[in-house]
Amino acid sequence: MATFTAIVTRLLRHAFTGKKHNEKQGVTIRPAFCVLEDKNMMKFNLAVIDTALNIDAIPESIRNKIVIKDYFGRDTKATHSAMVINTILKYTNADLIEKIYLYNIFTKEHQGSGLAAFNALEDILKNNDVDIIIMSVTLANKERYEQTKDICKRLALSGVTIIAADSNRPSDGLCYPFSFECVYGISQGAFTEKPYYCVNDMETKHISGDAEAEFINCGKIGSCLFGGTSKAVPKFAAAIINAFVDENDNSCDKIEAWIKKNTLSEEDNIIHQIRENALSCEFSQEILDELSGYISECPVDISCLGETSPTFELCELGSCELFKFLTYMLDKFRISATPEKMRYTDFATIGSLCAYIGEKIHK
């Protein structure tokens, strides 16, 4: 398996040469911001296609740059979109951002249909001058697959860089737009021990039992040390921006160095320790204290199981919670649910699982 560095170098090369030739489709993709000559005046317009609009969770200093495109389904308690935006701001200078268009694609009427996401992409193509699209969610609807693929290709040809995640587990094997060849795809490893199949444009890929997040694009898979995909996608966007605005060095080596420097935070190191110990379920007290600290920050006024969709203050432990780690935690706190009944698709994000466990801990 190719290293993550090699994958990033190969897949991001077009961001610095100004083009990517797709032999299969015979098209040339050029990011819009590649053509800017005055780097001191460089500004980026971003589009965040996500769920749960809550502008109150976004720093006031940047709220004037937020353009909310859809108020339907707005939930003042849920902050997933805000977390994505805040991650971008953590890793890049807010002065480099001109506008952030915020689209909500979670609606009761169109949940799971892919229609809201397709409409958001179509709106970007028709109406907005967007450089980077950030999409930390996955679509799995068969009826919308070809339509979405076509519009993503048109966006890429118009100069838009699309970064998308595979952050859930669609039952029918489809997971897009992250698998499209014109999209940078960031995927999380299998959540449970059961095999997971994802239909990629190049071939069907089998992803099973890997605790690490994975970076997938054009049929290539490599290790990704970013953390959860909800953090990985905005971090990746920040990496592209940061590497591009450095007028002294906008090479692939620049972005490689930036990624290496910023992937292993103090929190990530804790997660790596968890992964190393999870197979035997032998956790040091220090790690358990850290885990309890993360979990305790989640609100307790939610219901993560049952018919009601959870709302929560997002609090991720990292890129994955191993099956055996879940079993350990469930047993430790005597939670009356099994991992089989708590698959990833039962929760809006890993954060809701953390909040659910946190609720049980504090009872």
Cis upstream peptide for 177 (omega within 30°): yes
Residues 249 and 126 in one domain: yes
What pLDDT is attached to residue 339? Answer: 42
What pLDDT is attached to residue 149? Answer: 86
Q: What is the CATH number of the domain that holds 89?
A: 3.40.50
CB of 238 within 8 A of CB of 10? no
Contacts (Cβ under 8 Å, ≥6 apart) of 84? 48, 50, 134, 136, 230, 233, 234
Residues 61 and 83 in one domain: yes
What pLDDT is attached to residue 345? Answer: 33
Residues 354 and 215 in one domain: no
Residues 42 and 182 in one domain: yes
Residues 88 and 19 in one domain: yes
Q: Closest by alpha carbon to 121, among 179, 71, 51, 177?
A: 177
pLDDT average per 10 residues of sequence, the chain (363 residues): 31 35 31 39 83 69 83 52 78 87 69 72 88 81 83 86 67 65 62 35 36 36 44 75 61 53 46 42 51 46 28 30 44 46 37 46 44
Q: Closest by alpha carbon to 83, among 302, 291, 258, 298?
A: 298
Q: What digits encode the pLDDT tens for the residues 73-98?
A: 554 444 567 778 877 887 788 888 99
What pLDDT is attached to residue 161? Answer: 83
Separation of alpha carbons 27 and 88, rounded Å: 30
Number of domains in the chain: 2
Residues 215 and 353 in one domain: no
Q: Which of 262, 293, 320 is the last residue of a domain?
A: 262
Separation of alpha carbons 4 and 176, rounded Å: 21
Residues 123 and 164 in one domain: yes
Separation of alpha carbons 130 and 14, rounded Å: 18
Q: Which of 262, 277, 309 is the last residue of a domain?
A: 262
Domain extent at residue 310: 266-361
What pLDDT is attached to residue 226? Answer: 36
Residues 241 and 276 in one domain: no
Residues 68 and 17 in one domain: yes
What pLDDT is attached to residue 124? Answer: 92
What pLDDT is attached to residue 157? Answer: 83
What pLDDT is attached to residue 13? Answer: 34
Residues 106 and 82 in one domain: yes
Q: Which of 210, 231, 262 is the last residue of a domain?
A: 262
Write the burial class of residue 288 (CB in 10 Å: 0-12 exposed, 13-18 middle, 19+ buried): middle
Assessment of whether the complete model's pTM goes beyond 0.95: no
Write the burial class of residue 107 (CB in 10 Å: 0-12 exposed, 13-18 middle, 19+ buried): middle
Residues 231 and 278 in one domain: no
Residues 132 and 179 in one domain: yes
